[in-house]
Amino acid sequence: MGKTRDSKVPAVLLLADGKRFEGHSAGSLGITTGEIAFNTGMYGYQEIFTDPSYHRQILVMATAHVGNYGVHEEEVESKKVQIAGLVTKNYSSIASRAGASGTLQDFLERDAVVGICDLDTRALVRHIRQSGAMNAIICSDGTDESELMRRLEAVPSMEGLELSSEVTTAAEYDAVPAVGTVSNSRVALLDLGVKRSIVQCLTDRGCTVRVFPMLTSAEEMLAWSPDGIMLSNGPGDPGAMLETVETVKALVHSDKPIFGICLGHQVLALSQGLRTVKMFNGHRGVNHPVKNLLTGKAEITSQNHGFVVDRDSLQTAPDVEVTHIHLNDDTVAGIALKGRPVFSVQYHPEASAGPHDSRYLFDQFVENMERVVVLD
């Protein structure tokens, strides 16, 4: 299906610290830059590549094979490929699945995504783990490497970048409840780079969802008379989103139930006086262990973030409690506001790709909304 490669075009990956890797072109020919990150997931590459949280990132897939099963038009999390570039070991430009609607090669070329394959991704991942997150550049058009390094030096650090405005919806839109569902809750979703599966997890539970652009004011969202507020995932540095933090602070004071995911979790934390910090290496994969401190149970989760809530800042926020921790490094994975129906998690309970251990959080959010409605 689609295009196959008759010849391999040389490509190069250069890291900001001077490390160099040679390989061959995958996707479109050209040049791309971004912060390099790695994902440890063994499956779900299409959902991963279309996640807006990866905007402006060059993604290394730690799994050895990518592209084998092609792509399918329903297995997307947004309207286009969001990663800035792809790095993989073995790259398949043909699809070995009867239900595939195209190849990964077609998919990447459609959105002009530049990639590199046939390099030692294990050595690359080890280097990133030891050296930390940094910017990188991929080139497959023969540009001189001195020029590539000049371009790479001009790429801004992810720290301090507000990127949600580049991926949020241009206008509000509605998503209707799934057929046969019974909840009548109305959810106002602040789109910081939302994944489609988050909206679907809400409509599957009977919610009517109105998705608002990230710069929508709290007053505009509340004028729709929602039963609850969803703060979505998204890319970039939460510390650069000062206006959104103020919006979320006003939404908290409305006493509506609130559920934040990933970037939404971080912005909620900032609205309560906590701090966020950039991680040496982020969490990206579909097998991250998290402990629910309220139940004592562990969950295997899907994660994708390069910033985290600073645990030390919780000491000055007595109204915030930690509800979940990441079991690999003890970082904050979830918080709740005492005395309010407001909570958030650093990971992705909707998964896609990933396990569904944490989808109970959507049920908890719906229950919070229904409880408030009954009390009213």
Query: Where in the sequence numbering do the catalytic residues fall?
Result: 262, 348, 350
Q: What is the DSSP letter of 89?
A: S
DSSP string computed for 153-191? HTSPPSTT-B-GGGTS-SS-EEEPPPTT-----EEEEE-
- What is the C-alpha separation between 332 and 293, in angstroms, rounded? 11
Instruction: Please count the CA atoms within 13 angstroms of the CA of 266 that sit on its side-chain side.
Output: 28
Q: Do the beta carbons of residue 303 and residue 289 sit within 8 Å?
A: no
Rounded to 5 degrees, what angle do the CA atoms 71, 189, 301 make?
Answer: 55
C-alpha 72, offset from chain centre? 20
Q: Which residue(s) pair with 276 in the sheet?
A: 309
Among 375, 376, 372, 363, residue whose Cα is nearest residue 182:
363
Cβ distance 228 to 362 under 8 Å?
no
- Which tokens sit at 85? 């570039």
Which of 141, 155, 137, 152 lies closest to 30, judged by CA?
141
Helices (H), the chain: 45-49, 104-110, 121-131, 145-153, 196-203, 218-223, 242-253, 263-271, 360-375
63 near 92, Cβ under 8 Å? no
- Residue 180: partners with Cβ closer than 8 Å, 6 or more residues away: none
CA gap 56, 374 in Å, rounded: 44
Q: Nearest 5°: phi and psi at 5?
A: -95, 120
Residue 265 CB coordination number (10 Å): 28
